[in-house]
Amino acid sequence: MSNGSVIEVAGPASEALSRAAELRQEGWTLRSGHAPGADQAFERGAAGYAEIFLPWEGFEANVGVMGKIYTHAPARAYELAEHFHPAWDRCSQGARRLHARNCQQIYGPTCNGASTTTSFVICWSNGTGGTEQALRIATAERIPITNLFSAESREDAEKWLAGEPIELGQKLR
């Protein structure tokens, strides 16, 4: 990768494939949790320039994965997930694994060191679901977020992909 930067994406598949291809061509690496919808569509567009964090072996096994695959979150990911989740004590073991992999999407495979932290987040979130864990972390870390659920963010992203000088995520949540 030319710039060594990393993004994390989640949400519906609408336009995700072409957006990921555009970002890949600019030297970005995708971080994804391989969830159905936009995660998997972005993965296809990233064409192997991806770090894929699975909560367990066999997660979404019916859909091929392209990129470096991680299936075991380190203890640090669980510590961070507990810190950022508002109801950790009510999460099942499976939910905890899903939230730990969200930490990896933001902090990198080992969840240690600022050099591996995600540069910005592109997502599609209506305010519910697992993506919110990643957004809580990104907000706390002051990582720029572009939530394509917002019409304004979609417009900004389109302008950026068209080459206009707009920074994605310039408005933090």
Q: Residue 17: what pLDDT?
A: 56
Q: Tens digits of per-residue pLDDT, 79-136?
A: 999 999 999 999 999 999 999 999 999 999 999 877 788 988 888 788 888 889 999 9
Amino acid at 149: F
Structural domains of the chain, ranges and CATH numbers in brackets: 6-161 (3.40.50.450)
Q: Global pTM?
A: 0.81
Centroid of chain to Cα 26? 17
Query: Contact 27/6 with Cβ under 8 angstroms?
Result: no
Q: Tens digits of per-residue pLDDT, 15-65?
A: 555 666 677 777 788 899 998 877 887 788 788 889 999 999 999 988 888
Q: In what order do the strands lie in the sheet with 120-123?
A: 68-70, 50-53, 29-32, 6-8, 120-123, 145-147
* Residue, of 30 and 77, whose pLDDT is higher: 77
Helices (H), the chain: 16-25, 38-46, 75-84, 93-107, 131-140, 151-161
Q: Residue 172 has which token pair? A: 């933090």
Q: Residue 16: what pLDDT?
A: 55
CA dist., res. 125 & res. 10, Å (int) = 8
